[in-house]
Amino acid sequence: MHTAIDLLYFTIPTLISLLIVYLIVSKFNDKETAAKRIALLQSNHDTAFRMRLQAYERLAMLVERTHPRQLIPRVYTSGMTVQELQQALVMTINAEFEHNLSQQIYVTASTWQLIRIFKEQEINMIKHIASTINPSEPASILHQQIVNYLITTESETPSETAMQAIQAEAKSLLTQGI
């Protein structure tokens, strides 16, 4: 019996020590796991922030690249007719838009809808102006008519409206975060 009591004298402190060590290690492990989880969330937040900001940059480039003052010099070749220039402009606008379709997952639905409307308005503007000219005329006439329209229109052009929305949302992202 005396040996049993001696055994208890050694066993109980050892068990208590093991329990304390277990609790300390468990608490330390929980803190490490929480710290890693926070670091991962912060990393994901930073990555998502950069991706959204890049989406706004790409959409701004889309708007600029499809504006007639940038687009016409890129697609115009000498000897083109009004019809050929119109088709080339519409095809290029559609190609630029399709190239940036994936950006819609990073921007708000309202901004993406505005980009879609912008594309359609640009195409409709070109088609409308081209419809007032004989399709077999030189493309330079269509070019001049589009420039005249852009200079004389008092309302905001589709590209100005789209760019303002992109800038406003990007500024909101930068000031408020995701």
Concatenate the DSSP letters of all residues of 79-144 into one string. Answer: T-BHHHHHHHHHHHHHHHHHHTGGGGGTS-HHHHHHHHHHHHHHHHHHHHHHHTS-TTSBHHHHHH
Is 90 exceeded by the pLDDT of residue 37?
no
Query: How far is CA 175 from each of CA 49, 107, 150, 170, rounded to the nearest angstrom?
Result: 12, 16, 33, 9
pLDDT digit string, tens, across residues 122-177: 999 999 999 999 999 999 999 999 999 988 887 788 888 899 999 999 998 888 86
CA angle 109, 65, 70 (to 5 degrees): 145
Q: Provide the β-strand partners of residue 77.
A: none
Measured distance CA(71)–CA(35) in Å, rounded: 51
Give residue 90's pLDDT.
97
**Collapsed DSSP state (helix, strand, coil) of residue 78:** coil
pTM: 0.75
Q: Hey, where are the domains in the chain?
A: 51-176
Confidence at residue 97, expressed as pLDDT on a 0 to 100 scale: 96
Q: For the ranges 27-36, 64-73, 165-174, which has the lowest average pLDDT?
A: 27-36
Q: Write down the residue that tokens 């007032």 correspond to.
A: 132
